[in-house]
Amino acid sequence: MRRLRAGLTLALIGSLALGPVHAAGQTSGPGLLSGTAKHKAKQPFTDYTVRARDVGNGTIAATKVLDTAGDFSVPSLTLANYLLELVDKNGKVVCTEGPFQLTQAAAQKTNVNIDCGVPPAAWLLLAGAAAAGVTAGVVAGGPASGSQ
């Protein structure tokens, strides 16, 4: 058992130490995400940027300014799962679209429409967590408020 724990510890330390080296070698790739955000952004479109966030590690892989027509193109992405964020000139995330999985078989997605017709994934996760918290409180039989 002690050898297993030591082995797992070494594997974890090795992956943490070598992870940045592996990521540093992946400066560009064959992936491309492009489309439009003109339905959600306001004029002038060049006040908005699109960020491609790698879902696997949470980092921003690329940032591109919308062109004058409200379109964007984010080239040279490594093959991964990305969430696109539309950001205004003040740095506020207006909405998100995705995630979009770029693979060897499908390295490009060229018809992305950032319209935010569906709640962002983060809001869905937050709603699920809130529902779980309410359920836990009800099951535990604790007071619902301080007035009880």
Q: Which strands, in side-by-side order, build the sheet including 31-36?
A: 71-77, 31-36, 108-113
Residue 71 main-chain phi, psi, to 5 deg: -100, 160
Task: Give the whole-angstrom CA distance, residue 61 versus residue 52.
Answer: 6
pLDDT tens, residue order, the chain (148 aa) = 444 344 434 333 433 333 443 444 444 678 999 999 998 989 999 999 999 999 999 999 999 999 999 999 999 999 999 999 999 999 999 999 999 999 999 999 999 999 886 554 555 555 555 556 655 555 555 555 555 5
Q: What is the DSSP letter of 79?
A: S
What local confidence, expressed as pLDDT, does residue 28 receive? 61
What local confidence, expressed as pLDDT, does residue 74 receive? 96
Pairing outcome for strands 31-36 and 71-77: antiparallel
Residue 74 main-chain phi, psi, to 5 deg: -115, 95
Burial tier of 87 (Cβ tally within 10 Å: 0-12, 13-18, 19+)? buried
Domains of the chain: 26-116 (2.60.40.1120)
Burial tier of 104 (Cβ tally within 10 Å: 0-12, 13-18, 19+)? exposed
CB 85 within 8 A of CB 112: no
What local confidence, expressed as pLDDT, does residue 70 receive? 95
Task: Give the whole-angstrom CA distance, residue 98 versus residue 121.
Answer: 8
Q: For the chain, first and last CA: distance in Å?
A: 50
What local confidence, expressed as pLDDT, does residue 39 receive? 86
What local confidence, expressed as pLDDT, does residue 72 receive? 96
pTM to 2 decimal places = 0.60
Q: Which strands, in side-by-side order, build the sheet including 60-65?
A: 60-65, 49-54, 81-87, 93-101
